[in-house]
Amino acid sequence: MTATHVDGVPVVADEPATAHAGMATRDGQPVRWRQIRHLLLEDGSEAYGCLHCTYTSRKLLSIRPHLNKHRELKPAAPPTAAPAAPAVLDLRDLVSRLDAADRLATELDVWKTRALRAERELDRLRQALKRAGVV
């Protein structure tokens, strides 16, 4: 259901609204919002409306916050049962898990060091390009 009139002016065309020019799908097609309607009025002016009710506005971006009123509220999750008792691990399993955690932490440190070095190099390149007047 969309509005049939905006400020007393009849709506003559109703179609999905197109997002602003910078927004496009991966294949380059313009993004169209299904819940926001582009309304052409009899006097030649344009407005935007909500798909779910008769709310309208002359500004496209004012429709998006309005759509929150139409969201279905999800019921609260039912309370879960008490957590199960922790599984009993033997000493070998526990030691192997701790070793795996240590290896993972060491590997993470190596990757973090590499990432920080790469960021510094990238920053130096950006500064050099700025000094050269390229950027």
What are 69-82's pLDDT values in tens digits? 888 766 666 766 66
CA–CA gap between residue 49 and residue 132 (Å, rounded):
50
Q: Given 39, 70, 101, which residue is the final one in a domain? A: 70
Q: Assess if residue 64 is contained within a domain.
A: yes
Same domain, 64 and 92: no
Query: Containing H/E element for 16?
Result: strand 9-18
Per-residue pLDDT of 35-67, as tens digits, reads 889 899 999 999 999 988 889 999 888 888 888
In a domain, 78, yes or no: no
Query: Are residues 64 and 90 part of one domain?
Result: no
Whole-structure pTM value: 0.50
For residue 80, the model assigns a pLDDT of: 67
Q: Is 39 within a domain?
A: yes
For residue 99, the enclosing domain spans 86-135
Q: Classify each residue of 46-70 as buried b or exposed e, where b means 16 or more C-beta atoms within 10 Å of its C-beta.
A: ebbbbbeeebbbeebeebeebbeee
Give the tens place of pLDDT for each residue, 92-120: 888 888 999 999 999 999 999 999 999 99
